[in-house]
A and B are shown apart, each in its own frame.
Chain A
Amino acid sequence: MAEALEIAGTAASPGVGLGPVHRAADVPAEVFALRDTVAAERDKLRQAIATAIAELRALADRSDEESAGILDFQIEMLLDPALVEMAEGRIVAGDGAALAWVGALDDYIAGIEEAPDEQLRARAVDIVDIRNRVVSALTGLPLENFAPGSVFVGKDLEPSRFLAHDWTAGGGIVLFEGSVSSHVAMLARGRSVPMVVATGRFEVADGARVLVDANNARVVVAPDDEHVREAKPIKAEARPIAARRAGGVVETADGVAIRLSAIINDPTELRAIDPASFAGIGLMRTEFLVASSADAVDEQRHYDIYRHTLEWAGDAPAIVRMLDLGGDKTLPGLGARKSESFMGLRGIRLLLARPELARAQVRALLRAAVHGNLGVLLPMVTVPDELDAMRTYFEEERAVLLRRGVEARMPEIGMMVEVPAAALMLERFSRSAFFSFGTNDLAQYLMAAARDDQSVAALYDAATPAVLRVIAQGVDLAEAMKKPIGICGEMASDPRHVPALMAAGLRHFSVAPNRVTDIRSIISGLCTDGRPRRR
């Protein structure tokens, strides 16, 4: 058996994937051999570009808005005569259409790859995408696809190929180069596809088994069982075990009940999860339900999703977080990103600045609340006034709905605890029905270190002790107010942090569904002070 090979990289999208390698091939040289007259080659190229544009438009039409935005950029590039002119110069000089196109584009790509700015360098792969699509149209060779469940290994991965691939069967992405700022990294994070970049080139045979352990920023070729156990692959274990163990409550070794709820990013995830394995939904993100500003104010769309979610949860609480846009989560025209915007107009700030957006979601939540045990979480609350302002929206919209004869019920309204100023002063938020720590943002705000900036990634990790102290204080304050408090940040899904979170007093954890088995087993081996069971 081949010896396992561990390769360090940079995590671009968290998670763990295990599967056979799909080794990306370069475009074969023989397709460039053909050569006709200058006029014919030029026509072929123009035709191929037109085909590529039509394909991209069709792909954009069936993509969500973020993906469509990326494809629009590619379409705009193809529509620009400058690209064609670069290639036509080479056709006149004697190259065939395909060779001329690839030559011109490769020069251009090399220029972008030399850009001083990483964000701009990350665009190079979009141009590679355009290049390959036109080559495919020119040569009739299909764009390379790969089997669902595979781990893509290559220099870089083009956004349109990511979008065309079926990721529901798992797998992952390993890039020799790549960038955490690339379009494909954004897409991977949005769809929870584990991705590790900047591994440097390494040899691996097509079909070899590879473990993408993005949580530990590493890749293991031919992993042994120990590697796999350590990384806990997503698909292999989570479901059957979760299904066997009913109930979302786990007892600690000293007999205290800990509640485990699910974090849901996309309503389609509910199909794969057994409600009996969870004490309800601790956090359903809603920013991924909407692909455009139009979706965001589509009250019926929101309502349908929330109703479905509440029906899934049955009697158990389902906590829906209102749109948390801004920072790294944007819609075209909404919450668009600037480096400062993690601390700008995002979360509840954006909702209060855009009342029409907030009120549409509020009405949908009020209507859905009739169908179950709904809680609403407000993101990025900093001062009590924000909570009160949103509560007023709920009261006003409820009155309007009732006047119209529409059934509506007030949900419990709680807040994310993720802004340090709020976390330290929780007693001021007595009108919040419950609290939930969002440790991802809490950590970055405590350390003043942006989550998406690789140059300060180490600081972000180092935030843990400060976060734990803030959590422990927050738990005390909430208990003094007799308000429920839990955690829905990534720390809660990380086995390393669970003992310290228990010691800080947390008794309600919201975790990624594929982590619940691990977290359950860890908690059952711990006492409530976070220490291991004494034997």
Chain B
Amino acid sequence: MDNRSRRETPEAVDTHGYCQAEIEVTHGFGLHARPSVIFTRLAKSFPCTVEIEVNDSHVWLNGKSIVKIMGARIRTGSILKIRARGLRAAEAIHALKALVERDFDEEKKHGRSA
């Protein structure tokens, strides 16, 4: 099972609509296309901007663009920074970070609790 530790920093929350989080991708992001679809669909459901940076590249990409996400070539073990600006920014970061932590729901939907 997954025994890698997740590297994360406390979320930097700003009441004026800025929020950022850092997380290690434990899911094989490139494994199939679904995680990218799920991530961008969730990002698009928030009114704020969502941007991602991979492995301290200093390049911030539109987190709502599946083309950009696929192009970022994110793999397992990548450190992902996610930032959001605008309405419901904190909520967006919380949801997206949780999605990455849940390995894009590819495990959860098995329904361990069912």
Instruction: Identify the A interface with B (CB < 8 A).
Output: 69-70, 72-73, 76-77, 80-83, 86, 108, 111-112, 115-117, 119-121, 123, 126, 183, 326, 332-340, 344-345, 350, 353-356
Contacts and interface: CB of A to CB of B under 8 A. Distances in A.
A3 to B, nearest CB: 41
Given A69-B34, A117-B28, A338-B106, A112 B114 contact: no
B110 interface: yes
Contact of A345 (B2, B31, B34, B112): B112
Contacts of B37: 72-73, 76
Interface in B1-46: 1-2, 27-34, 36-37, 40-41
B114 A356 contact: yes
Interface string B56-96: 00000010011110110101100000000000000000000
Contacts of A82: 62, 65, 67-68
A354 B111 contact: yes
The 8 closest A-B pairs by CB, nearest first: A120-B30, A73-B33, A336-B106, A82-B67, A333-B109, A115-B73, A117-B75, A117-B30
B101 interface: no
Contacts of A83: 67
A83 B62 CA distance: 13
Contact of A336 (B36, B71, B110, B114): B110
B28 A338 contact: yes
A119 B30 contact: yes
Nearest to A123: B33
Nearest to A75: B37
Given A76-B66, A82-B68, 20 more contacts: A69-B34, A73-B33, A76-B40, A77-B70, A80-B66, A81-B65, A82-B67, A83-B67, A108-B67, A108-B71, A115-B30, A117-B30, A117-B75, A123-B30, A332-B34, A333-B109, A340-B1, A345-B112, A353-B110, A353-B112
A45 B36 CA distance: 25
Contacts of B40: 76, 80
A183 B71 CA distance: 18
A491 to B, nearest CB: 29
A356 B76 CA distance: 33
A80 B62 CA distance: 11
Contacts of B109: 333-334, 336
Contacts of A126: 33
A57 to B, nearest CB: 15
Given A82-B65, A117-B75, A336-B107, A123 B70 contact: yes
A291 to B, nearest CB: 15
Contacts of A340: 1-2
Main secondary structure of the interface of A (DSSP, over half): helix
B70 A355 contact: no
A120 B107 CA distance: 20
24 contacts: A73-B36, A73-B66, A80-B65, A80-B67, A82-B62, A82-B65, A111-B71, A115-B30, A116-B73, A117-B30, A117-B73, A119-B31, A119-B32, A120-B70, A121-B30, A126-B33, A332-B34, A333-B109, A334-B110, A338-B106, A339-B28, A345-B107, A350-B110, A354-B111
A70 B56 CA distance: 31
Nearest to B110: A345
Interface residues of B, number: 32
A163 B28 CA distance: 26
Contacts, number: 98
Contacts of B41: 76
A122 B107 CA distance: 22
A353 B66 contact: no
Nearest to B26: A338
Nearest to A120: B30
A260 B26 CA distance: 45
Contacts of A120: 29-30, 70, 73, 75
Nearest to A326: B110
Contacts of A344: 1
A81 to B, nearest CB: 8
Contacts of A77: 66-67, 70
Contacts of A73: 33-34, 36-37, 66
Contacts of B75: 115-117, 120
Nearest to A74: B33
A462 to B, nearest CB: 26
A123 B1 CA distance: 26
A117 to B, nearest CB: 4
B47 to A, nearest CB: 17
Nearest to A118: B30
Contacts of B110: 326, 334-336, 345, 350, 353-354
A167 B68 CA distance: 35
A119 B75 CA distance: 9
A332 B104 CA distance: 12
B110 to A, nearest CB: 5
B28 A119 contact: yes
Nearest to B113: A353
B107 to A, nearest CB: 6
Contacts of A326: 110
A345 B109 CA distance: 11
Nearest to B67: A82
Nearest to A333: B109
A77 B2 CA distance: 30
B33 A355 contact: no
A293 to B, nearest CB: 8
Nearest to B111: A354
A335 B65 CA distance: 27
A339 B75 CA distance: 13
A353 B111 contact: yes
Q: Residue among A119, A120, A123, A354 with the most chain B CB within 10 A? A: A120
A119 B31 CA distance: 5
